[in-house]
Chain A
Amino acid sequence: MQRTSWKSKATSSLFVLPYLLLFTVFLIAPIVYGVWISMHDWDLLNPVNEFVGLKNYLNIFDSDSYLHNLFFEGLKNTFLFVLFSVPLLVAVGLGLALLLNALPKKLTGFFRTAYFIPYSVSVSIVAIIWLWIFDTNSGLINQYFQKAGLSAIPWLTDIPWAWVSIIIATLWWTIGFNMVIFTNALNEVSEELYEAGSLDGANRWQTFIHITLPTIKPTMLFVTLTSTIASFNIYGQPYLMTRGGPGTSTQVLLMNIVEEGFNQRQLGNAAAMSILMALIMIIISLVQFRLTREKKEAMK
């Protein structure tokens, strides 16, 4: 019964138009504008922005340029964080979900809320709370260490402790979200599969490896992908907790982009850096996606 006169099409288009407009203005246009900026020597204080083609990109890959260090040092630190945080975010999230699932039904709701609450606060609150816990002199942890006769750890001012602190705070803040996604996935694993498993005499571990894990594989992929992207975008935790220190060892890529764009006012460079960062993120997502797909095919 769909009428396809131009009049009908016109009214239908009105439904999509507002979003399309916002989409064009606040997503497509900025992307195009960003590419344009990245091809200019764009200094905020200089009224003339000279077109330089791909020079900003080439500078990033030229080991003599300061941009090279700024980009790759930052990228290295971001990678470090991704490398350590993502496996923990996935494994601990799954672990907590398994724990919730095994608890008596009456208690599940309470503990789920308890583990999920920190997810509701913002990064500045996460930072303030954990700074006060990790403080070298009056922090909670070092006070307990002192009581136990252990020497204080410089949680925020020494490597690797600065990363350890940032990762603990991040886990505390975001793990609840992954846990909830895993809990939902675990509830979808059919009882029949488990029953078949127990008839075959499988123990808990075997059931987990052979029944649970394969069934929740798509969820694992999803959580790994979203956690990787979120970890790549890390900014607030090191910005507020360690200020990138000690030295520049927790100075992540996004901090360097903001520094180059907003403090040094070199927008052309900063735009080129953010486009490269985005490309790296897209490539990594695609690779992760492919890898899991291929494994799945191979298993069939």
Chain B
Amino acid sequence: MRKKGFTIALVTIAIIISIFFIAPLFWMLATSFKTDQEAFTSGIKWIPEIFTLENYTFSLSGGSDTPVFTWMSNSLIVGIAGTLIVLIVDTLAAYGLARLDVPFKKLLFAMFIGSLTIPWVITFLPLYMGFNQLGLLDTYAVLILPYSANAFGVFLLYQSFRAFPKELEEAAHLDGANKWQVFIKIALPSARPIIWTLAIFTFMSIYNDFLWPLLTTSSPEMRTITTGIAIMQQGSFVSSPGRLMALTAIATIPVILIFILGQRSFIKGVTQTGIK
């Protein structure tokens, strides 16, 4: 019976801790349905006394300085395009290094893996300068391209391709398939789970990035949702917690949904990265 008491104690602790993680999100939702007057008056109300949708209609109506839908679609475009580029170039490179007779293979691999130790802080300023000189600030190019050089995906996929038995590929070669066909028809499907993991990792890190889009965009219609919200927080929404929270909720809910749905492959991916 001692064991049962122990389990009950553990579950109680787990519930108390989950309050720490969930309550802030709930408080955000509660505030987003309150009038500002209620939000500011003291007294803790987890359920709004006067339930209002005004904050949502106002935030979504998007005046010229809060084009929420533009920000959301910018974030989606940048996130999806960046992820696609990473998936294409990383699968190709990883397969080449893992399986094909690429010249200087060892050197290239060492160089790519070595680059994982280079802190990002070293590149952001010169990258900004380069894009500035090409007149590409405040465009999709500057928001997408810099994410494409990350070697993390190459490393992840390389391991997956190496672990895949060679025989299937050799059989296909003997049947007269060329390298591209083998890559598309055999290698890619074999790496599907790890490709999904990489896709979720990459999308989330681009979608949620803050400093780079903050520095490289200046017009309201090129902002991503992450930077747009930050600017509203310091700008015209500063004295309206209700509107700010409504905006935050709008930005948060899609990511949380994607995250809960993709969680399984995300967690599986963390294991497969060889981090043990």
Contact = CB atoms under 8 A, between A and B. Distances in A.
A278 interface: yes
Interface string A2-39: 11100011011101101110110111011101100100
Interface in A121-175: 121-125, 127-133, 138, 140, 143-144, 146-147, 172
Interface string A238-250: 0010000000000
B25 A23 contact: no
7 contacts: A15-B96, A23-B115, A117-B259, A131-B233, A138-B39, A262-B215, A277-B121
Given A138-B42, A274-B122, A282-B119, A19 B154 contact: yes
Interface residues of A, number: 92
B125 A143 contact: no
Interface stretch (B60-68, B100-108, B189-197): B100-108
A261 interface: yes
Interface in A266-300: 267, 270-271, 274-275, 277-278, 281-282, 285
B101 A9 contact: yes
Contacts of B1: none
B90 to A, nearest CB: 6
Given A123-B226, A132-B28, A271-B126, A103 B10 contact: yes
Contact of B233 (A122, A188, A240, A278): A240
Interface in B40-95: 40-44, 85, 88-90, 92-93, 95
A211 interface: no
Nearest to A183: B267
Interface of B: 7, 10-11, 13-14, 17-18, 20-22, 24-25, 27-28, 31, 39-44, 85, 88-90, 92-93, 95-97, 100-103, 108, 112, 115, 117-127, 129-130, 145-146, 148-149, 151, 154, 170, 173-174, 178-179, 183, 204, 207-211, 215, 225-227, 229-230, 233, 241, 244-245, 248, 251-252, 255-256, 258-260, 263, 267, 270-271, 275-276
A236 interface: yes
Contact of B270 (A33, A102, A180): A180
Contact of A37 (B126, B211, B215): B126
B256 A121 contact: yes
B11 A103 contact: yes
B35 to A, nearest CB: 13
B263 A278 contact: no
Contacts of B260: 113, 117
Given A33-B130, A185-B276, 8 more contacts: A99-B17, A120-B256, A123-B210, A130-B24, A138-B41, A177-B270, A184-B271, A281-B121
SS of B interface (majority): helix
B24 A261 contact: no
SS of A interface (majority): helix
A257 interface: yes
A147 B207 CA distance: 40
B276 A127 contact: no
A86 to B, nearest CB: 16
A172 B101 contact: no
A160 B176 CA distance: 69
Given A117-B25, A172-B24, A219-B276, A15 B129 contact: no
Contacts, number: 256
A8 B122 contact: no
Contacts of B151: 23
B25 A278 contact: no
A132 B263 contact: no
A48 interface: no
Nearest to B275: A222
Contacts of A199: none
A115 B255 contact: no
Contacts of A23: 112, 115, 149, 151
A14 to B, nearest CB: 8
Contacts of A107: 11, 14
Contacts of A277: 119, 121-122
A99 B14 contact: yes
B5 to A, nearest CB: 13
A184 B21 contact: no
